[in-house]
């Protein structure tokens, strides 16, 4: 890999989130972690278990659940038990708001089943009551040796902090706009809450901070300021990012800028899934963001040209899509006995102009003929032609089957140790940071 053009990683405390034999570290020199959140009713145990399983299998290293009612709190215990029975030991994070202090106290089994608590200081109550509720949640975390994420949100910022800072700005002659003051208030709320937790006995290596907003420029400004003022581990996420390409682009731009500056220890892509689309899409986007930036490796990726008038679009596009799906489907299998394959690139090029050259640059590459040409496609491995695949127009699946056998052989020959018994790290993939 060429020398990084990114800023050095912002120094943060290393936080351990543990469950069973799984220790997911956030911050310090740990890999940038991928998180997700369920959208099922937590009280529906079976539905939630299935979604947690799918998110964990997709590569989510922490899964957050809404815990908003006594029924949901009680369900967390059953969810944990069922996940254990299926040998899924992904740490669960409880997302608490208005009544978290009551639920953690009254349903003590829930407090123990969760590996981390998310607290929004803007939603725990106002004034003295709010301070008491916050303190109680920290006390429960200390009693159970659990870390916390103190997550402030632009839509639920503590009005007392905002009012105080607006007044200070007016007293100073209003040198800053209301939006700039709002940004400062978010940072102040997060850091002051973290310091309050430390005053209660919580160590800094048990605290993760987040300050989520829905505007790209606001998010970048807030996290830049927060990173300049503390060394707590930082969770990144653009809240309410939106649906489809808008959500993907906005999340990628905002978090990509911060990650390039060395800011961020864990991320979540908060896109609204399209009807019928799997919840795991947010995990895939987060992984691809990190992998595209060269920060982590999760699975082999397809390198392909955009297509032009020279390409047989249907054949080329189908082969690229089938190959990408093949890599996605087989990554869990390869992960059981192979290492390093996550960094592999597979080129699917659409014509003979640039195709052969680009294919040679990949670990495995195929160069399809152009439009109107016989589908005879040379295949390359590490820059050397190893054969050709012949087919007929419209037979992408036939060509794909043969090409995928070559990919599988390449993984077996290059990334599998002889005994096929590899000591996995806690997330089963290679980290580059």
Alpha carbons 307 and 371: distance in angstroms, whole number: 11
Q: What whole-number distance in Å separates Cα of residue 182 and Cα of residue 173?
A: 16
Same domain, 138 and 267: yes
Tell whether 170 is covered by a domain.
yes
Q: Which two tokens stand for residue 35?
A: 């998180």
Task: Answer whether residue 7 is part of any domain.
Answer: no
DSSP 153: E
pLDDT at 388: 94
Which tokens go with 393?
Answer: 């127009």
In 187-340, at which residue ranges do the beta strands (DSSP E only) sit?
207-212, 233-236, 242-243, 266-267, 271-272, 301-304
For residues 29-42, give the mean pLDDT. Answer: 97
Residue of 360, 347, 349, 413 lying closest to 386 (CA atoms): 360
pLDDT at 417: 72
Say what the pLDDT of residue 374 is.
76
> pLDDT, tens digit, for every residue of 120-168?
999 998 888 999 999 999 999 999 999 999 999 988 888 889 999 999 9
Mark whether 217 and 357 lie in a shared domain: no
Question: pLDDT at position 346, please?
Answer: 97
Distance CA 65, CA 48 (A): 9
Q: What is the pLDDT of residue 419?
A: 54
| CA separation for the pair 20, 84 (Å, rounded) | 9
CATH code: domain of residue 244: 3.20.20.20
Domain boundary among 292, 324, 353: 292
Q: Cα dihedral sign for 253, 259, 262, 266? A: positive
Looking at residue 75, its pLDDT comes to: 98
Q: Give the percent of the chain with pLDDT over 70.
A: 94
- 422 in a structural domain: no
Q: Is residue 421 part of a domain?
A: no
pLDDT, tens digit (0-9, with 9 covering 90-100), for 365-421? 999 887 777 778 999 999 999 999 987 655 788 899 999 999 999 999 999 975 544
* Residue among 73, 94, 123, 75 nearest 19 (CA): 94
Residue 425 lies in a domain: no
The reply to whether 171 falls in a domain is yes
Strand 33-37 and strand 384-390: pairing? unpaired
The last residue of a domain, from among 292, 321, 336: 292
pLDDT on residue 152: 95
What is the residue range of 63's domain? 15-292
179 and 41, same structural domain? yes
CB 15 within 8 A of CB 26: yes
Which of 292, 317, 351 is the endpoint of a domain?
292
Burial label for 261, CB within 10 Å (0-12, 13-18, 19+), is middle
Structure confidence at residue 4 (pLDDT): 61
Cα 306-308-312 angle, rounded to 5 deg: 100
Residues 214 and 356 in one domain: no
pLDDT at residue 348, as a whole number: 94
What CATH number does residue 305 fall under? 3.30.413.10
Query: What does the block give as tokens for 27?
Result: 């911050």
Nearest-CA neighbor of 143 among 91, 200, 94?
200
112 and 156, same structural domain? yes
| Residues 111 and 232 both lie in one domain | yes
Is pLDDT above 50 for 432?
A: no
How many domains in the chain? 2
> Is residue 273 situated within a structural domain?
yes
Same structural domain for residues 283 and 365?
no
- The residues, ordered by sequence, that sit 6+ positions from 228 with a Cβ below 8 Å of its Cβ are none
Query: What is the per-residue pLDDT for 168?
Result: 92
131 and 249 co-located in one domain: yes
Question: pLDDT tens digit string along 304-357?
Answer: 988 888 887 788 889 999 999 999 999 989 988 999 999 999 999 988 888 889
- Kindly tell me if the per-residue pLDDT of 268 is higher than 90: yes
Cβ neighbours of 8 (radius 10 Å):
8
Lowest mean per-residue pLDDT among 66-80, 82-96, 194-208, 356-370 = 356-370
pLDDT for 426 equals 43
Residues 28 and 53 both lie in one domain = yes
For residue 155, which of 64, 223, 229, 218 has the smallest C-alpha distance? 218
- pTM for this model (two decimals): 0.89
Q: Is residue 247 part of a domain?
A: yes
* Domain shared by 253 and 339, yes or no: no
pLDDT bracket for residue 272 (50, 70, 90): confident
pLDDT (tens digit per residue) in 236-247: 999 988 888 899
Question: Are 128 and 194 within one domain?
Answer: yes
Residues 230 and 117 in one domain: yes
């Amino acid at each position: 890999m060429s020398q990084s053009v990114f800023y050095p990683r912002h120094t943060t405390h290393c936080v351990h989130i543990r469950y069973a034999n799984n220790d997911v570290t956030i911050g310090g020199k740990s890999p940038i972690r991928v998180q997700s959140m369920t959208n099922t009713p937590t009280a529906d145990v079976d539905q939630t278990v299935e979604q947690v399983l799918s998110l964990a299998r997709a590569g989510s290293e922490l899964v957050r659940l809404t815990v908003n009612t006594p029924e949901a709190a009680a369900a967390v215990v059953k969810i944990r038990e069922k996940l254990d029975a299926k040998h899924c030991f992904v740490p669960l994070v409880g997302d608490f708001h208005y009544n978290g202090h009551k639920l953690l106290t009254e349903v003590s089994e829930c407090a123990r089943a969760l590996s981390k608590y998310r607290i929004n200081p803007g939603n725990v109550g106002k004034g003295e009551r709010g301070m008491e509720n916050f303190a109680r949640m920290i006390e429960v975390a200390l009693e159970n040796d659990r870390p916390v994420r103190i997550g402030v949100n632009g839509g639920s910022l503590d009005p007392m902090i905002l009012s105080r800072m607006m007044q200070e700005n007016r007293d100073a002659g209003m040198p800053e706009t209301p939006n700039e003051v709002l940004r400062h208030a978010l940072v102040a709320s997060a850091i002051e809450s973290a310091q309050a937790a430390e005053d209660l006995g919580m160590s800094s290596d048990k605290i993760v901070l987040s300050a989520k907003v829905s505007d790209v420029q606001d998010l970048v400004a807030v996290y830049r300021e927060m990173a300049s003022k503390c060394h707590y581990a930082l969770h990144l996420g653009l809240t309410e990012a939106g649906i489809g390409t808008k959500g993907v682009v906005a999340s990628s731009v905002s978090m990509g800028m911060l990650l390039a500056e060395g800011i961020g220890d864990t991320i979540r892509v908060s896109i609204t899934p399209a009807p019928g689309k799997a919840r795991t899409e947010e995990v895939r986007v987060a992984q691809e963001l990190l992998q595209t930036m060269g920060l982590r490796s999760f699975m082999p990726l397809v390198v392909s040209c955009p297509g032009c008038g020279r390409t047989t679009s249907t054949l080329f596009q189908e082969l690229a899509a089938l190959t990408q799906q093949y890599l996605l489907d087989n990554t869990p299998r390869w992960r059981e006995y192979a290492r390093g394959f996550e960094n592999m690139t597979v080129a699917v090029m659409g014509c003979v102009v640039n195709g052969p050259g680009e294919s040679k640059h990949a670990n495995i590459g195929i160069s399809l003929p152009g439009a109107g040409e016989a589908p005879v496609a040379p295949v390359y491995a590490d820059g050397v032609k190893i054969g050709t695949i012949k087919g007929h127009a419209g037979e992408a699946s036939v060509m794909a089957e043969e090409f995928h056998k070559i990919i599988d052989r390449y993984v077996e020959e290059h990334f599998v140790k002889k005994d096929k018994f590899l000591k996995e790290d806690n997330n089963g993939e290679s980290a580059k940071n």
